[in-house]
Amino acid sequence: QSALTQPPSASGSPGQSVTISCAGTSSDVGDYNSVSWYQQYPGKAPKFIIYEVNKRPSGVPDRFSGSKSGNTASLTVSGLQAEDEADYYCSSYAGSDIWVFGGGTKLTVL
Amino acid sequence: QVQLVQSGAEVKKPGASVRVSCKASGYTFSNYVIHWVRQAPGQRLEWMGFINAGNLKTKYSEKFQDRVTITGDTSASTASMELSSLRSEDTAVYYCARKQSGEKYPFDYWGQGTLVTVSS
């Protein structure tokens, strides 16, 4: 049950787009459409922003979008805003009632 | 509204056990699954296991299999997680998170987190 692989950091200027990758295996990301993404501010609990690879819950801006290709999922934040600066984690079902998280990516808005 | 309220911070000595509770409100407790996720200081989220509040079935991560016990009390709408044989590396914030049964659903509501500090 290895963690999913995310880049430790990502950055972009206000208004730009940034994409965060989440690399798994054919046993987790590649085998299930159950990737979700979480946004976490310092000292706060995570909040889900994407589920089932590319679905957004109500209240999450459409600037956030998700996708998947093979064993890698991605989160794209378009039109970056200062409030998007946070840590982002992906998660995937890994079979046999097991879930796995990514290592997290710190997004900096320059 | 849905709320998961966790018990307060704990300080434990190495070798001891800790129990963290998670009281749910605003929904039917037995219709969902409660997962436990921990986060060491400055580190990633780490999935520990879950309890299905409907049938009280549990599943644990291999990493914690020998040391963790998750229980549920449907009459009190409360789930609890006990971690034994604590070591310094177990110092972390422990979260409970709600999830519908089934692989595609996200962890949609989270508790506020409970800091567990293991120190001699």
Q: Is the pLDDT of residue A1 over 90?
A: no
Burial A73-89 (b: 16+ CB within 10 A, else e): bbbebbebeeebebbbb
Average of pLDDT values for B69-82?
97
pLDDT at position A2 is 83
Whole-angstrom Cα distance, residue B77 to residue B4? 10
Q: Which position has the token pair 């998170």? A: B97
The answer to whether the Cβ–Cβ distance between A89 and B112 falls below 8 Å is no
Q: What is the pLDDT of residue A37?
A: 98
Interface probe for B, chosen from A29, A58, A98, A105 (most Cβ of B below 10 Å), is A98
Over the stretch B79-108, which tens digit does the pLDDT of each residue have? Answer: 999 999 999 999 999 999 999 998 899 999
**Are A36 and B107 in contact (CB < 8 Å)?**
yes
Residues contacting residue A83 through CB under 8 Å, at least 6 positions apart: none
> Of the candidates A33, A48, A104, which has its C-beta nearest B107's C-beta?
A48
Looking at every residue in chain B, the average pLDDT score rounds to 97
Distance set, CA B112 to CA A47, B4, B6, B22 (Å): 11, 7, 7, 10
Task: In whole angstroms, give the CA distance from residue B86 to residue B42.
Answer: 19
Share the mean pLDDT of chain A. 96
Q: Which of B63, B97, B103 sits opposite A93 (nearest CB)?
A: B103
Question: Which class for B102: exposed (0-12), middle (13-18), buried (19 or more C-beta within 10 A)?
Answer: exposed
What confidence tens digit (pLDDT) does each residue in B48-65 have? 999 999 999 999 999 999
Amino acid at A45: A
Distance from CA of B75 to the nearest CA of A (A): 25
Size of interface A-B (CB pairs under 8 A): 61
Distance in angstroms (rounded) separating the CA atoms of residues A50 and B37 = 18
Q: Please list every residue in chain A whose beta carbon sits closer than 8 Å to the beta carbon of residue B36.
A: none
> Across the interface, do A36 and B37 touch by the CB < 8 Å criterion?
no
Q: Are A40 and A87 in contact (CB under 8 A)?
A: yes
Chain A contact present for B25, CB below 8 A: no
Quote the tokens at residue A94. Answer: 């890994």
Distance CA(B100)–CA(B107), nearest Å, equals 8
